[in-house]
Amino acid sequence: MASFPYEDSNPNANPNPNYTHFPPILDPASFFDFKLSDFLIFDDDDINIDQAASSSPSMTSSEKITGVDSGGSSTIIDSGSSIVVSSGASKSIRSKNGENKKRKGEMGCRVAFRTKTEKEIMDDGYKWRKYGKKSVKNSPNPRNYYKCSSEGCNVKKKVERDREDASYVITTYEGVHNHESPFVVYYNQMPSFTSTPT
DNA sequence: CGACTTTGACCGGCGC
DNA sequence: GCGCCGGTCAAAGTCG
Protein backbone atom coordinates (compact mmCIF):
# COMPACT_ATOMS: atom_id res chain seq x y z
CA MET A 1 0.00 0.00 0.00
CA ALA A 2 2.78 2.33 -0.72
CA SER A 3 2.93 2.24 -4.48
CA PHE A 4 2.62 5.51 -6.25
CA PRO A 5 -0.44 5.73 -8.45
CA TYR A 6 1.38 6.60 -11.58
CA GLU A 7 3.57 3.55 -11.25
CA ASP A 8 0.55 1.31 -11.27
CA SER A 9 0.34 1.27 -15.02
CA ASN A 10 -1.19 -2.17 -15.24
CA PRO A 11 -4.36 -2.42 -13.14
CA ASN A 12 -5.32 -5.50 -15.08
CA ALA A 13 -2.48 -7.41 -13.49
CA ASN A 14 -4.17 -7.24 -10.13
CA PRO A 15 -5.72 -10.59 -9.20
CA ASN A 16 -6.92 -9.47 -5.79
CA PRO A 17 -10.28 -7.67 -5.78
CA ASN A 18 -9.47 -6.18 -2.42
CA TYR A 19 -6.27 -4.75 -3.66
CA THR A 20 -6.38 -1.04 -3.18
CA HIS A 21 -4.87 0.63 -6.17
CA PHE A 22 -4.83 4.28 -6.83
CA PRO A 23 -6.90 6.18 -9.31
CA PRO A 24 -5.63 5.64 -12.78
CA ILE A 25 -4.42 9.09 -13.52
CA LEU A 26 -2.42 8.06 -16.49
CA ASP A 27 -2.86 10.79 -18.98
CA PRO A 28 0.10 13.12 -18.58
CA ALA A 29 -1.75 15.96 -20.24
CA SER A 30 -4.62 15.83 -17.80
CA PHE A 31 -2.38 14.99 -14.87
CA PHE A 32 -0.48 18.20 -15.21
CA ASP A 33 -3.62 20.10 -15.83
CA PHE A 34 -4.82 19.89 -12.25
CA LYS A 35 -3.28 20.20 -8.86
CA LEU A 36 -3.73 17.16 -6.73
CA SER A 37 -5.00 18.49 -3.48
CA ASP A 38 -6.41 15.68 -1.39
CA PHE A 39 -5.25 12.12 -1.01
CA LEU A 40 -6.60 10.19 1.98
CA ILE A 41 -6.26 6.50 2.62
CA PHE A 42 -8.24 4.30 4.99
CA ASP A 43 -9.69 0.83 5.28
CA ASP A 44 -12.81 1.44 7.31
CA ASP A 45 -16.14 0.61 5.68
CA ASP A 46 -18.04 3.07 7.77
CA ILE A 47 -16.11 6.14 6.88
CA ASN A 48 -17.90 8.69 4.84
CA ILE A 49 -15.49 9.25 2.02
CA ASP A 50 -17.30 12.21 0.63
CA GLN A 51 -17.24 14.04 3.89
CA ALA A 52 -13.64 13.10 4.47
CA ALA A 53 -12.62 14.27 1.05
CA SER A 54 -14.56 17.48 1.30
CA SER A 55 -13.48 18.39 4.77
CA SER A 56 -12.02 21.77 5.39
CA PRO A 57 -9.45 22.66 2.75
CA SER A 58 -7.45 24.44 5.38
CA MET A 59 -6.57 21.17 7.02
CA THR A 60 -3.28 19.60 6.21
CA SER A 61 -3.17 16.16 4.69
CA SER A 62 -1.57 14.69 7.79
CA GLU A 63 -4.38 16.07 9.89
CA LYS A 64 -6.89 14.51 7.56
CA ILE A 65 -5.21 11.16 7.63
CA THR A 66 -5.07 11.26 11.39
CA GLY A 67 -8.74 12.06 11.54
CA VAL A 68 -9.89 9.54 9.01
CA ASP A 69 -7.55 6.63 8.94
CA SER A 70 -8.19 4.28 11.83
CA GLY A 71 -4.82 2.63 11.70
CA GLY A 72 -4.40 2.04 8.01
CA SER A 73 -1.51 3.04 5.88
CA SER A 74 -1.13 6.35 4.17
CA THR A 75 0.72 7.92 1.34
CA ILE A 76 1.25 11.62 1.08
CA ILE A 77 1.78 12.77 -2.45
CA ASP A 78 2.48 16.39 -1.90
CA SER A 79 2.27 19.03 0.75
CA GLY A 80 -1.39 19.65 1.44
CA SER A 81 -2.45 16.69 -0.64
CA SER A 82 -4.56 13.71 0.26
CA ILE A 83 -6.62 10.92 -1.26
CA VAL A 84 -9.17 8.68 0.44
CA VAL A 85 -8.99 4.96 -0.19
CA SER A 86 -11.44 2.42 1.12
CA SER A 87 -10.89 -1.25 0.44
CA GLY A 88 -14.29 -2.56 1.45
CA ALA A 89 -17.15 -0.56 0.06
CA SER A 90 -20.55 -1.58 1.34
CA LYS A 91 -23.18 -0.87 -1.21
CA SER A 92 -26.77 -1.72 -1.81
CA ILE A 93 -27.43 -2.25 -5.50
CA ARG A 94 -30.89 -2.26 -6.94
CA SER A 95 -31.38 -4.52 -9.90
CA LYS A 96 -33.66 -3.73 -12.79
CA ASN A 97 -36.61 -5.74 -11.46
CA GLY A 98 -36.50 -3.88 -8.19
CA GLU A 99 -34.68 -6.61 -6.32
CA ASN A 100 -32.10 -5.34 -3.92
CA LYS A 101 -28.74 -6.93 -3.53
CA LYS A 102 -26.20 -6.41 -0.84
CA ARG A 103 -22.81 -6.20 -2.37
CA LYS A 104 -20.61 -5.54 0.60
CA GLY A 105 -17.03 -5.63 -0.45
CA GLU A 106 -17.79 -6.52 -4.00
CA MET A 107 -16.65 -3.25 -5.38
CA GLY A 108 -13.09 -3.90 -4.28
CA CYS A 109 -12.12 -0.45 -3.15
CA ARG A 110 -13.09 3.16 -3.15
CA VAL A 111 -10.78 6.01 -3.75
CA ALA A 112 -11.69 9.60 -3.15
CA PHE A 113 -9.45 12.49 -3.92
CA ARG A 114 -9.80 16.19 -4.22
CA THR A 115 -8.14 18.16 -6.93
CA LYS A 116 -7.86 21.80 -7.65
CA THR A 117 -9.03 22.09 -11.22
CA GLU A 118 -11.39 24.13 -13.29
CA LYS A 119 -12.34 21.08 -15.27
CA GLU A 120 -15.36 19.16 -14.05
CA ILE A 121 -14.14 15.97 -15.70
CA MET A 122 -10.63 14.73 -15.35
CA ASP A 123 -9.43 12.65 -18.24
CA ASP A 124 -7.87 9.73 -16.40
CA GLY A 125 -7.44 7.59 -19.46
CA TYR A 126 -10.63 5.59 -19.02
CA LYS A 127 -13.83 6.12 -20.89
CA TRP A 128 -16.70 7.13 -18.61
CA ARG A 129 -20.38 7.24 -19.29
CA LYS A 130 -22.54 9.56 -17.25
CA TYR A 131 -25.62 7.88 -15.81
CA GLY A 132 -26.90 10.29 -13.24
CA LYS A 133 -26.77 13.71 -11.71
CA LYS A 134 -28.02 14.57 -8.29
CA SER A 135 -28.04 17.65 -6.15
CA VAL A 136 -26.93 16.64 -2.69
CA LYS A 137 -27.83 18.05 0.66
CA ASN A 138 -25.51 20.63 2.18
CA SER A 139 -23.90 21.27 -1.15
CA PRO A 140 -24.82 23.88 -3.75
CA ASN A 141 -23.15 21.81 -6.43
CA PRO A 142 -24.70 18.75 -8.06
CA ARG A 143 -22.97 15.38 -7.95
CA ASN A 144 -22.40 13.55 -11.21
CA TYR A 145 -22.32 9.78 -11.50
CA TYR A 146 -20.25 7.95 -14.08
CA LYS A 147 -19.72 4.32 -15.03
CA CYS A 148 -16.79 2.94 -16.92
CA SER A 149 -18.14 2.41 -20.41
CA SER A 150 -15.98 -0.64 -21.01
CA GLU A 151 -18.02 -3.80 -21.34
CA GLY A 152 -18.04 -5.85 -18.16
CA CYS A 153 -16.29 -3.18 -16.12
CA ASN A 154 -18.36 -2.09 -13.12
CA VAL A 155 -16.16 0.73 -11.94
CA LYS A 156 -18.05 3.87 -11.01
CA LYS A 157 -17.03 7.33 -10.07
CA LYS A 158 -18.73 10.28 -8.50
CA VAL A 159 -17.68 13.81 -9.26
CA GLU A 160 -18.73 16.88 -7.35
CA ARG A 161 -17.38 20.29 -6.60
CA ASP A 162 -16.19 20.98 -3.11
CA ARG A 163 -18.98 22.71 -1.26
CA GLU A 164 -16.51 24.93 0.52
CA ASP A 165 -14.28 25.81 -2.37
CA ALA A 166 -15.73 25.43 -5.86
CA SER A 167 -12.27 25.49 -7.35
CA TYR A 168 -11.79 21.98 -5.98
CA VAL A 169 -13.35 18.87 -7.47
CA ILE A 170 -13.97 15.77 -5.36
CA THR A 171 -13.73 12.56 -7.35
CA THR A 172 -14.65 9.20 -5.83
CA TYR A 173 -13.75 6.00 -7.67
CA GLU A 174 -15.56 2.80 -6.73
CA GLY A 175 -14.14 -0.53 -7.76
CA VAL A 176 -11.21 -1.71 -9.79
CA HIS A 177 -11.06 -1.77 -13.55
CA ASN A 178 -10.91 -5.25 -15.00
CA HIS A 179 -9.18 -3.96 -18.09
CA GLU A 180 -6.38 -1.67 -18.99
CA SER A 181 -6.83 1.97 -19.56
CA PRO A 182 -7.04 2.84 -23.25
CA PHE A 183 -4.27 5.25 -22.48
CA VAL A 184 -2.09 2.46 -21.09
CA VAL A 185 -2.61 0.48 -24.26
CA TYR A 186 -1.63 3.49 -26.26
CA TYR A 187 1.26 4.21 -23.90
CA ASN A 188 2.59 0.68 -24.13
CA GLN A 189 2.53 0.86 -27.89
CA MET A 190 4.76 3.90 -27.97
CA PRO A 191 8.42 2.86 -28.40
CA SER A 192 9.74 5.97 -26.74
CA PHE A 193 7.76 5.20 -23.56
CA THR A 194 8.38 1.49 -23.23
CA SER A 195 10.46 0.55 -20.25
CA THR A 196 13.56 -0.54 -22.08
CA PRO A 197 16.51 -1.01 -19.76
CA THR A 198 19.44 1.22 -20.35
C1' DC B 1 -27.36 5.96 -36.67
C1' DG B 2 -24.96 4.89 -32.67
C1' DA B 3 -23.06 6.65 -28.54
C1' DC B 4 -23.59 9.70 -25.09
C1' DT B 5 -26.02 13.18 -21.95
C1' DT B 6 -29.94 14.94 -19.55
C1' DT B 7 -33.39 14.63 -16.28
C1' DG B 8 -37.35 13.14 -13.75
C1' DA B 9 -38.91 9.09 -11.54
C1' DC B 10 -38.16 5.34 -8.76
C1' DC B 11 -36.25 2.56 -5.03
C1' DG B 12 -34.02 1.17 -0.67
C1' DG B 13 -31.70 2.60 3.51
C1' DC B 14 -31.79 5.08 7.48
C1' DG B 15 -33.03 8.22 11.18
C1' DC B 16 -36.73 9.90 13.85
C1' DG C 1 -44.59 4.21 9.66
C1' DC C 2 -43.00 8.22 7.45
C1' DG C 3 -40.11 11.34 5.21
C1' DC C 4 -35.59 12.48 3.64
C1' DC C 5 -31.67 11.35 1.06
C1' DG C 6 -28.39 9.11 -2.02
C1' DG C 7 -27.97 6.21 -5.88
C1' DT C 8 -29.74 4.24 -10.17
C1' DC C 9 -32.73 3.63 -14.16
C1' DA C 10 -34.45 4.65 -18.53
C1' DA C 11 -36.78 7.44 -22.02
C1' DA C 12 -36.00 11.33 -24.62
C1' DG C 13 -32.93 14.50 -26.48
C1' DT C 14 -28.40 15.78 -28.49
C1' DC C 15 -24.31 15.36 -31.02
C1' DG C 16 -20.78 13.83 -34.24
CA atoms of A115 and A98, how far apart (whole Å):
36
**pLDDT in the model for residue A25:** 42
Report which of A16, A84, A4, A79 is spatially closest to residue A50, judged by C-alpha positions. A84
CA of A137 to C1' of C4 (A): 10
CA atoms of A164 and A168, how far apart (whole Å):
9
Q: Which residues surround strand C, with CB < 7 Å? A: A 50, 91, 93-96, 131-132, 134, 136-138, 143, 145, 156, 158
Q: What is the pLDDT of residues A161-174, one digit of tens each?
A: 877 777 788 888 88
Q: What is the pLDDT of residues A111-137, one digit of tens each?
A: 787 777 766 666 677 888 899 998 888
Any strand B atom closer than 7 Å to A134 CB = yes
Task: Say what percent of chain A tops pLDDT 70.
Answer: 32
Specify the pTM: 0.65
CB burial readout A9-36, b (16+ within 10 A) else e: bebeebeeeeebbbbbbbbeebbeebeb
**pLDDT in the model for residue A156:** 87
- Asked whether residue A187 carries a pLDDT value surpassing 50, the answer given is yes
Of residues 84 to 113 in chain A, which lie within 7 A of strand B by their beta carbon?
92, 94, 98-100, 102
